[in-house]
Every structure is written in C-alpha cells, then in structure tokens.
Amino acid sequence: MRGSPENSVLPLDHLALRGDDEADALVLREGVLSYRELRSRVSRLAAWLAHEVPDKGARVASWAAKGELTCLMPLAAARAGLVHVPINPLLKHAQVAHILADSGAVMLIGTPARLKTLQDGDVSSQCRIVEEAQALNDAQDLAGDLAPSTADPDDLAAILYTSGSTGRPKGVMLSHANMWLGADSVADYLGMASDDRTLAVLPLSFDYGQNQLLSTWYAGGCVVPLDYLMPRDVMKAVERHAITTLAAVPPLWVQVCELDWPAETAARLRRLTNSGGALTVDLVHRMRALFPGARLFAMYGLTEAFRSTYLDPDLIDTHPTSMGTAIPHAEILVINDMGDIAEAGQEGELVHCGPLVAQGYWQDPERTAERYKPAPKASVYGGTAVWSGDRVKRDADGLLYFVGRRDAMIKSAGNRISPQEIEEAALATGLVAEAVALGVKDERLGQAVHLVVRAAPGTSDAQTELPRKLMQELPNFMQPKVIHWRDAMPIGPNGKIDRTSLQTELAA
C-alpha cells in the first residue's frame, strides 16, 4: 500500500497539499490552476466560509454546474469545519427543498439560473442564499487565508444525498477518514500518478463522481471537469486535454462505444473505470476493442460505504462479469441466509466492513438501523458494517459475482428471477443497446416480467427477432410478457438509467 496507513489519516482538506507547486491541478474554463493556486483558492474560500458561517459542523450546500466552486467546496468546507452538502445540478426545486430542509443547511451557494427556480417555501429563513460568483469573488477579496485543518478524522465532512430507488433521497454521512481513505484506496489500485489527467464527467454530488477529484488530487494529478451535452463532447475533451483517466456509468459507456474514435485519441486513455451498474460481456468486448491500450476497471460500490470491490484489469477478458475482490481498506464478506460465511458458489448478502463504512443516514436512525448493523463475527475489522441488500456469489478463486438486489428480484409464479439475467440475455443477442427488466403487478403471476429496450444501431428486424432469440436462451418462466421499445432510455441525475421512472410508468 503506497498510501497513508489507516492510523495516520489526515483531514480531507490536506489533499490540496499533495501536488507539486507548479503542476496542473484543475482545468477550468477561465484557465488552469496549479497546485500552488489550488491551495490559495481553497484557503481563501475556507476563510470566507468560516467568516460567514462560524458555527462548526453547520451544513453548507452547493448547487451549481462543474466549476471552481463545486470542485473546491469539498476541501474548503472541510477546512472551515463545516459539512458540505453537494446538490446535483440536475435536480429540480422540490428535490432541492427536501435536501435543504433535511440537512438543515444554513447556506446555499448556487448559480443564478438555478436559484431563480426556487419557489416560496423551498428555502427556510435560516438558510442564506448566495450566488456562486459572489461567493468566489468575496473569498478572493477577503484578507487572509485559513490554515490547514486539524479536524479529527471521525468528524463529519459531507452529506451525500442518494438518488435512491424508492422514497425521498437520504443523506449519507461521510467523515474526513471515509473520504481520505477512499481517495487513498482508489489512487492506489488504479495506479494513478502525478502525470495523470482525469476527465470528470460524473456529477460531483455522486460519491463516484466526487472521488474523481479526490483520488486524482491524492495522486498529485490534474482534474478536467466537464458537463457534457453529447457523448461526442467527451471524445473531444479526451483529445483536447490529453486525458489519461475516464470514469463513467454503463449508459454513458454504451454511447461512448457508439462513436467513431480516432485511434490516436483512444490511445491517450490509460485507464477506464466503471461503476453504478454492471458491464455486460458485449460492452466489455467493445470497450476493449475500442481502447486496447487502456486498463479497464470494473467496480462495485454503494454510497453507504463508498466503494467495495474492483476487478483486476488483467482478468477482465476472462471474467468480464465479475465484481472482483475487495478494494484496499475494505473487507467484503458474503453472508448466507443462515448468517454464516457463504461457501464458494453459494448465494449470500454482500456485507462491507472496515473504515470506508459511512456514519449512517443523517437524522434517520430508523433507516440507519436497517442498513448499518454489527459486523459478522468473522469480520477482522468488527464494529459496524453495511449490509448492502445485494445478493452475490463468490467463486472458488475468490472472485465475486453480482446476482441481484434483494428488493429488485422479480417474483413471478413462485419463481425468484434476477432482472440482470434477463437483461444480459437481451443484450447478448446484439439486437438491443440497452435493456431493463422489471416486475409489474399481475393478478395471475404475482408479477409479470416486462422488458424495456432500446434497439442497437443498424438493426432493422430487432422487434421480431428479439422475442424469438429470448425463447432460445431463457426458460419459459423468465420470458418477458411484454417488450417495450424506446428510442431513448430515461436517465437519472447520476447518469444511470432511471429504473424508478420506468417502474412507475409501467405500473400506471
């Protein structure tokens, strides 16, 4: 392990201190910040925050597109002794109002266009609204800097609100240690270095997206934030900024692989990372063919414990559907229905133990108790563990494989059906580019299988051929009762297919 040992974790804002003074740290539309300039901007923004919000532990929210504010806030708020609440810029006023009320934020910093969408009653009188440009300008005009933090590693540093598959978003509480060790872990297993340049395309309110910043800065590399409109914008940015690292979720990888990449542009990428959903065998093959010089990291994570596993890229060709093994600083156990360690090939619940486990859900002890429970007796770390609700299997070689979410399994005519298995079968036909299998209430079956798909480019007979091929590949009880064809899939705030909206639509 090249990173800091777990007993010498530093406050989160110390990440700004790691790079060489003159090395590029952050590429903004206004220009490039060196690490020397990054340190100065973080220090001044932290000083302004501490002046405006003197109460330690107070929550400060940001709601803006990727830029200087959203990139600096995780470190500046931590240095000021505050708790950062990043809000996805794609959210609408009602969702923002819920997050502000639930977190008890005392300040919201945002772009004027977004702030204008807020309605009466969305923001309490205890929450001050500040425009992004004013905050940045006032921070630079404020005399003096704020020294690096001496916070306890267990102090709360951020609350990240999950989009959630059901109900309103819930805030996951992350400490300085959670985020520092997450950056350490990812920089380590990705093999990141000071000459790496990361294209940050994922939302910075998303744990996977925020770690693009933190792990790159941990390694002393450079971050290039991008709010893309079209997948082609990603390809252009890779060329323009000599990008070496690209992280994405499966829907974006599908679109990226549909582009005609110049060989010299594709060759710039050293590593590709995926989380937020499983890669299919076909997609792995396409990514490997398109980016033959890049190492492909398939990963699994959950906001409640940041990230849990990754697959060694050397195994991606032979084990394309595996989740891999535990990342550094994580202990991953598979617990069967009897509460014991599952044997090889036996299905069980993935349980994450260790210092990456978050502190629970903000002001929600009931839901915290459902997910955060004592670690299994076999755990080396002990303490509190995250019981993920995800069903997995471990093979004889120790590699993990995702089976399905406990609460997402389709229960049809007495059968427990994994949506992923149906989706993989549909994608394997080559007739569809994206597929989502859902259970819809049915009087006779309990739930009927519905399959929502987008046809693969260049296919003309997909609608007639797909049912025939599925009949060849899947047993009768797994056959879709209805196949719904879409020109485009709904995408949620974190860039993943919005299964919840599809489920609501089909249930209506």
* Whether this model's pTM surpasses 0.75: yes
Please provide residue 354's backbone torsions phi and psi, each rounded to the nearest 5 degrees: 115, -175
Residues 468 and 361 in one domain: no
The answer to whether position 449 is within a domain reads yes
The answer to whether position 111 is within a domain reads yes
Q: Supply the CATH number for residue 497's domain.
A: 3.30.300.30
Residues 391 and 463 in one domain: no
Residues 52 and 136 in one domain: yes
Residues 65 and 142 in one domain: yes
Q: Supply the CATH number for residue 335's domain.
A: 2.30.38.10
- Both tokens of 137, joined, read 């300008």
The answer to whether position 354 is within a domain reads yes
Tell me the C-alpha distance between 43 and 38, whole Å. Answer: 8
pLDDT at residue 3, as a whole number: 37
Bigger pLDDT: 445 vs 55? 55
The answer to whether position 138 is within a domain reads yes
Question: Which structural domain range is residue 125 located in?
Answer: 11-227
Residues 423 and 387 in one domain: no
Kindly report, residue by residue over 195-248, the tens digit of the pLDDT.
Answer: 999 999 999 998 999 999 999 999 999 999 999 889 999 999 999 999 999 999
1 has pLDDT over 50: no
Residues 82 and 183 in one domain: yes
pLDDT at residue 165, as a whole number: 40
The answer to whether position 243 is within a domain reads no
Per the structure, the count of domains in the chain is 3
Q: What is the DSSP letter of 279?
A: P
pLDDT at residue 476, as a whole number: 84
User: Which of 155, 271, 294 lies closest to 221, judged by CA?
Assistant: 271
Kindly report, residue by residue over 58-76, the tens digit of the pLDDT.
Answer: 999 999 999 999 999 999 9
Tell me the C-alpha distance between 395 and 287, whole Å. Answer: 25
Domain end: 380, 405, 430, which one?
A: 405
Tell me the C-alpha distance between 385 and 438, whole Å. Answer: 29
Residues 41 and 141 in one domain: yes
Residues 6+ apart with CB under 8 A from 467: 480, 483
Residues 354 and 501 in one domain: no
The total number of residues written for the chain in this structure: 508
Looking at every residue in the chain, the average pLDDT score rounds to: 92
Contact, 283 vs 253, CB < 8 A?
A: yes
Bigger pLDDT: 270 vs 447? 270
Residues 427 and 378 in one domain: no
Tally: H helices and E strands in the chain:
15, 25
Residues 200 and 108 in one domain: yes
Kindly report, residue by residue over 155-194, the tens digit of the pLDDT.
Answer: 999 999 986 444 577 899 999 999 999 999 999 999 999 9
Contact, 120 vs 140, CB < 8 A?
A: no
**pLDDT class of 6 with cuts at 50, 70, 90:** low
Residues 69 and 216 in one domain: yes
Contact, 299 vs 275, CB < 8 A?
A: yes
Residues 50 and 86 in one domain: yes
2 has pLDDT over 60: no
pLDDT at residue 7, as a whole number: 52
Q: Which residue has the tokens 């060489």?
A: 20
The answer to whether position 319 is within a domain reads no
- Both tokens of 490, joined, read 């709904």
Contact, 50 vs 141, CB < 8 A?
A: no
Domain end: 389, 405, 421, which one?
A: 405
The answer to whether position 307 is within a domain reads no
- Both tokens of 385, joined, read 């563990």
Q: Supply the CATH number for residue 23's domain.
A: 3.40.50.12780
Q: How many CB atoms lie within 10 A of CB 5?
A: 8
Domain end: 227, 249, 279, which one?
A: 227
User: Which of 100, 77, 78 lies closest to 87, judged by CA?
Assistant: 100
pLDDT at residue 4, as a whole number: 41
The answer to whether position 466 is within a domain reads yes
Question: Around 171, how many Cα atoms within 13 Å sit in the side-chain half-sphere?
Answer: 27
Tell me the C-alpha distance between 13 and 445, whole Å. Answer: 54
Contact, 233 vs 204, CB < 8 A?
A: no
Q: Which residue has the tokens 């309605």?
A: 119
310 has pLDDT over 50: yes
pLDDT at residue 142, as a whole number: 81
Express as a percent the part of the chain with pLDDT over 70: 96
